[in-house]
A and B are shown apart, each in its own frame.
Chain A
Amino acid sequence: MSTSVSPNPLRAGLQISKVPKPVVMVIFGASGDLAQRKLIPALYDLARERYLPAQFTVVGVGRSPMGDDEFRTKMYEGVTKHAREFIPGLWESFAKGLFYLSGDINTSEFYDQMREFLATIDQKRGTLGNRVYYLSIPPSTFPILLENMGTHDLVGTAENVRIIVEKPFGRDLGTAQTLNGIVRRVFAEDQIYRIDHYLGKETVQNILVFRFANAIFEPLWDRKYVDHVEITVAETVGLEGRGKYYEESGALRDMLQNHLMQVLTMVCMEPPAGLGANSVRDEKVKVLRSMEIMTEAQVRANTVRAQYSAGFMAGKPVPGYPEEQGVREGSITPTYAAVKFHIDNWRWSGVPFYLRTGKRLTKRVSEVSLHFRQPPTHLFSRYTGGPSPDVLALRIQPDEGITLRFDTKVPGPDMAMRPVNMDFRYSDTFAKKSPEAYERLLLDCLQGDQTLFARADEVEYAWKVVTPILDAWSTGTKEDLATYPAGSWGPVAAERLLGEQGHQWRRL
């Protein structure tokens, strides 16, 4: 879908140099929250910025009976609330490209109906048979959906048909392999876009630029200079009515296996041969393949699982996890996970990587910090303050930016020193607001760029690393879980995990 017969001579040198081909995006699960809050607002913003072709069309598919007008009204509410900027004059034109098809994806007839419907849309809108299918439905429904798409000739090739799969990509290594098998029986890998919205964030992409477009950092980016690395993705929210879902997933599946592992691979990968999708993904996979697979004893030593208890968020009391709606009695689902990983390769051998994520923590913040080794001599150790380790922090959200902490002399006759921060903030430097993660990812898919989407082997290797922890954590009683009060930075056990090596979590 990305190439055209001959380039448009009027596009040369313009800010938007490439626009996707006319296409229908079919969203399965369109009556759900994701379409209204994220997908359609992101598409509207792309249309507003002129990134979409005039004929761009959305067909929402759902079980709930709904007409086009009702669907448009529902999406209008989503767009007015969640789009970055709303221009009323544009809505009417955008809404003309929104359609709704209700039906039961479990029946074969539905797919005949859908094929006919899409053919009519092609006629009406000039979309030339180009499709992107967005699976915003539970993975349990994938087999029947995909099988029917295959048998009803809805698959096409990478040039004209693509499929976006929302996480979770499985529950463990076994289910991920099964899921990948199901999808790949019908679609080729170059048609499959496994979306992890974390990779759509500017700051995550900037890790590559920061590392490989600046010569001064990369020479320091290894075991010789880096003492340890911390990756934190902290949430303040609780379950937000998703108790039933969360009970089945927990912190490892919900955040660590995907978001944190994606960030980890970007931080640790070798320079890719190019910026093509497979060059980048090959390097990410190499990192995952080099990660230590823990034994049961290592899981006990290197991980901390915990659940939040009642506490206070922004001065208001909040219930503990066991009291949340949808949570099973005696649940051992972790809402917090801290893990120490090792990457056994030339660059990182011996450097501990501490990953932590949790709900109901003090602050909503995501950050990667590289903690550098102390200078080899102790020139200043006897002076006030003494040297503190230098830290390079990449802030992913909020307040996206980069901070370098280093020591400096305090003015005065004494040789006193103190750490100072050198700070770069995105918001202070760039006029252009960052697009929402979904905008970037949807546009990439429409243009046929898979770089920011997870490949099958990448997903499976990430599961391979995490599955032993999941297995170990699937057993036990409540006594095996640490607890932490809502509004705190997590359990004491997580501090001990780092403390054993003389490290401590960075105060965020």
Chain B
Amino acid sequence: MSLDTQAVVALREPKMVPLNQVDHELNRIWATQTDGSATRASTFNLVVWSGNSGGLAEVIGAIAVQYPCRTLVIQEDADAAEMITAEVTAYCPLGSGGQRASVCCEYVTLHTRPNTLGEVSAAILALLIPDLPTYLWWHGGMPLSNPLFQDLRGIAEFVILDSATDPTFCTFSLLDRLAQKTIVGDLAWGRIREWRELTAKAFDDNKRRMDLGQISRVELEYVAGDTTQAWFFIGWLASCLNWQNPQIQPEGAVFQGPSGAVETVWQSVSNDRQPGNLVSIKINFGSEKDLLIRSGLIADCAQVELDEGGQCTFEQTEVLQDLTLAQLLAQELQHVNQTDPLYQAALGLLLSLIKD
């Protein structure tokens, strides 16, 4: 994926306007673009809860360059002059060579006082471009019992969250229930996509595929600080291979596979990458045969090696890049029909793993 966080340029300085003037103000911005260099286009509404953190403009700019949209950012602001005030602008992402991209993103920030959050969803509803899908990206901690989240998820067809911000049984359990009712995209699940593809590819070979039934041990290394990705990976592998009877152990779990017990362990390592990111996967097939996928040896790549009796019988380099927040979001914005069933299966397994 080539989507990166991009610098953005505002078509005009953000301007505070009353809520009922937002559309009018946006029209005024576009009316000034008479040279045709900036196009007004929208493919969806993106509602973003940013809590009290700013600095999302670049991420959203990177999204907008690929997916033109109207972005409505809700920002909690104890010092807001009124209960809800709107700040309106349009951003054009800067492409290579400093050229302004032709399609720009309408960007409305709603500054809300903490005690007025309940009224925000009504304001958002009035600002949505009609008849376009609406994504809700909840940036920050898991909001599952937050009343504003409950309101907003009612007006959005798609909800994007990051379970790694609060990886507890309670969170996963609520997520599991939410995914039954609405389309959920979980950034934590998106982070292991490349690893799932690499692992799957290692078993495209017919001979190696036979070994899938012989797996006896899986060792994962991840960057210390967050086990969510490791859990999801094990959950995915176990559900794809139909491993049964999960039993949690310290830093691991045991399953019943087709050829007996499958021991899985996850170990943290320290490095300067994003906490929680996977570092390596070692799959043992019950004898002196291991498949090892490890990152970090070659820039932007992973190495896949098969070791049989101390001899490397297969090696391959594959592209593996840590995804930026913008790339993860872009990935989720491509899901339009349903929550990924593999995610739901992995989530179910993960719940049975960590319930104790």
Contact = CB atoms under 8 A, between A and B. Distances in A.
A79 B103 CA distance: 30
Given A6-B209, A11-B204, A13-B341, A54 B319 contact: no
B317 A10 contact: no
A92 B318 CA distance: 11
Interface stretch (B139-147, B164-172, B192-200, B269-277): B192-200
A13 B340 contact: yes
Interface residues of B, number: 42
A428 B102 contact: yes
A447 to B, nearest CB: 13
Given A6-B209, A54-B205, A428-B102, A11 B314 contact: no
A43 to B, nearest CB: 14
A54 B302 CA distance: 13
B103 A428 contact: yes
A55 to B, nearest CB: 8
A189 B192 CA distance: 42
A54 B341 CA distance: 28
Contacts of B199: 10
B240 A10 contact: yes
B203 A10 contact: yes
Contacts of B317: 89-90, 92-93
A430 interface: yes
Nearest to B237: A10
A90 B197 contact: no
A53 B334 contact: no
B257 interface: no
A87 B204 contact: no
Contacts of B193: 15
Interface in A1-30: 4-6, 8-16, 19, 22
A259 B240 CA distance: 44
Contacts of B209: 5-6, 8
A87 B317 CA distance: 11
Contacts of B196: 10, 14
A48 B319 contact: yes
A85 interface: yes
Interface in B95-117: 102-103
Contact of B39 (A8, A48, A428): A428
A173 B301 CA distance: 50
A88 interface: yes
Nearest to B299: A89
Contacts of A14: 196-197, 200
A152 interface: no
B31 to A, nearest CB: 14
Interface string A73-108: 000000000000101111011000000000000000
B203 A50 contact: no
Nearest to A48: B319
Nearest to B63: A431
B90 to A, nearest CB: 14
A19 B67 contact: no
Nearest to B67: A431
A433 interface: yes
Interface in A376-398: none
A8 B304 CA distance: 17
A266 to B, nearest CB: 26
B204 A8 contact: yes
**Which of A10, A92, A93 is the most central at the interface, judged by chain B CB atoms within 10 Å of its CB?**
A10
Nearest to B2: A85
B300 interface: yes
Nearest to B326: A431
Contacts of A6: 209
Interface string B16-46: 0000000000000000000000010101000
A90 B41 contact: no
Nearest to B314: A54
Contact of A431 (B237, B319, B334): B334
A8 B41 contact: no
B66 A430 contact: yes
A501 interface: no
A13 B342 contact: yes
B201 interface: yes
Interface residues of A, number: 34
A423 B237 CA distance: 44
Contacts of B334: 431
Contacts of B3: 431
A475 interface: no
Nearest to A9: B240
A477 interface: no
Nearest to B342: A13
B292 to A, nearest CB: 14
B342 A90 contact: no
Contacts of B39: 428
Contact of A8 (B66, B68, B200, B341): B200
Given A89-B300, A429-B67, A50 B205 contact: no
B240 A431 contact: no
A19 B204 contact: yes
A87 B300 contact: yes
A122 to B, nearest CB: 14
B299 A22 contact: no
B41 A50 contact: no
A8 B208 CA distance: 10
A19 B68 contact: no
Interface in B195-229: 196-201, 203-206, 209, 212
Contacts of A13: 340-342
Interface in A230-255: none
Contacts of A50: 197-198, 201, 318-319
A8 B2 contact: no
A45 to B, nearest CB: 11
B287 interface: no
B340 to A, nearest CB: 7
Contact of A12 (B198, B212, B298, B342): B342
Interface in A306-330: none
Interface string B302-315: 00100000000010
B345 to A, nearest CB: 9
Nearest to A12: B240
A16 B196 CA distance: 11
**Closest 8 interchain pairs by CB?**
A93-B317, A431-B66, A10-B200, A89-B298, A89-B301, A54-B316, A13-B342, A428-B103
Interface of A: 4-6, 8-16, 19, 22, 48-50, 53-55, 85, 87-90, 92-93, 126, 425, 428-431, 433
20 contacts: A5-B209, A6-B209, A8-B204, A10-B199, A10-B200, A10-B212, A10-B237, A14-B197, A15-B197, A19-B204, A50-B197, A54-B304, A54-B314, A89-B300, A90-B318, A93-B318, A428-B39, A429-B43, A429-B68, A431-B67
Given A90-B317, A428-B102, 13 more contacts: A5-B206, A9-B212, A9-B240, A10-B240, A11-B204, A14-B200, A15-B193, A48-B319, A53-B205, A54-B205, A92-B317, A429-B43, A431-B333
